[in-house]
Structure 1
Amino acid sequence: MRTSSRRSRRSRPPASPPSTTDALQEDEIDALLARLVAKDEITEQLLAYARAVDRIDVPLIRSVFHPDAIADYGAMYSGTGYGFADFIAEVHPPMQTHTHHLSNIAVTVDGDVAGSECYVIMRARTIGADGTAHETVSHGRYVDRWERRDAIWRIAHRRYLHSLDELWTASTRLFEPAGSRGPDDPAYDVFPDPPASAD
């Protein structure tokens, strides 16, 4: 019985090398992982944009756009991405506070080019001369074309599609706004510096 067992082990064929099919599967997995990483990086850029606008952080806004990017916000603004950063720096400071909420983010990637669509809800509060608080809520979508240059995804062309807006007088205010719209906001203590603008 022992001799038979040893012969059985000796007669096993050697392990076969990886097949072409296995190599193709590895390539497909690598391509899938690359697309997932690209989608995550683009999503992070979208979130950085929303944070930058709410903090009125001009360098951070610019870091999301390529220097030659087009920014088409319809009747609100039309020009370059860098110019839009300057536009935000002009129109947002008079407001008491504002927030940009992003959702329904969809991204498609093809090599070093990508496209995305995401929904945005912007809420803003302004205080009138008589102390009355006025609320503005705006709904729309960002439709963006992205390009990866020097290993960084940035917007090459943005189009904002407006859906609806609402304006009303706020009747109650339970708490005063916390944090700030500048570099002394507590969020800057936990986020690293973004990649520098590409200009």
Structure 2
Amino acid sequence: MTDREAITDLIYRYCRAVDRLDHELGYSIWHEDGTADYGEAVYQGSVHGFVDFVCEQHGKTLGHSHQVTNIILTLDGDRAASESYHIAALRIMRGEQLHEICVRGRYLDRWSKRNGRWGIDHRVTIRDFDDIRPVTPLSNEVRSRRDRDDPSYAVLAIANEPGGRPR
């Protein structure tokens, strides 16, 4: 895998970690001493504190889905920088009405390759805009899970770590 592919894969795995509330996967995106800056009103600090915070906050919602697009990378040896556009949709109840929060923004990441492994050293998140609105679901069927019992873990286990627990 090229360095560009390895970093892109980690960016995608971040969304998976958040949507599956997978703390260990979330930690693995950063280096151990990595930091996250989601703004004063949200979170600024260590990666472990951030992953725990975001999983706890998302666990209070009814569901959520994160996507990233438009990944731009610059590479310089064992250092890199990226900008990734993101869309996060979260569902909550307000009284008797289902609402969806939608946040659109960008992840600005500084990366380094240490001992052959890429990881984020520091992330700054820019919120470009957001909204909240009432929604009417098309279906009540929910097949996804917000844990390692999500069907995707079994499917992806074929080519991943022993014991069927993909990274």
Give the TM-score normalised by the residue count of structure 2.
0.90
1:91 aligns with 2:54: no
In structure 1, the gaps of 5 or more residues are 1-35, 195-199
In the TM superposition, what is the alpha-carbon distance from 1:190 to its structure 2 partner?
2.4
2:108 counterpart letter in structure 1: V
Q: SS of the residue aligned with 1:92?
A: helix
1:169 aligns with 2:134: yes
1:120 alignment partner, one of 69, 86, 93? 86
Where does residue 13 of structure 1 map in the other structure? none
More helix by percentage: 1
Alpha-carbon deviations, 1:72-95, whole Å to 9, x = none? 001211111111111022101111
In the TM superposition, what is the alpha-carbon distance from 1:169 to its structure 2 partner?
1.0
Q: What are the residue-to-residue correspondences of 1:155-166 with 2, within 5 Å?
A: 155-166=120-131
The percent of aligned pairs where both chains have the same amino acid is 39
More strand by percentage: 2
Kindly tell me the number of residue pairs found equivalent between the two proteins.
157
RMSD (Å), alpha carbons = 1.2
Give the TM-score normalised by the residue count of structure 1.
0.76
Aligned mates of 2:75, 2:155 — CA distance in 1:
29
1:145 aligns with 2:110: yes
Alpha-carbon deviations, 1:137-159, whole Å to 9, x = none? 00110000001111111000100
1:180 aligns with 2:140: no
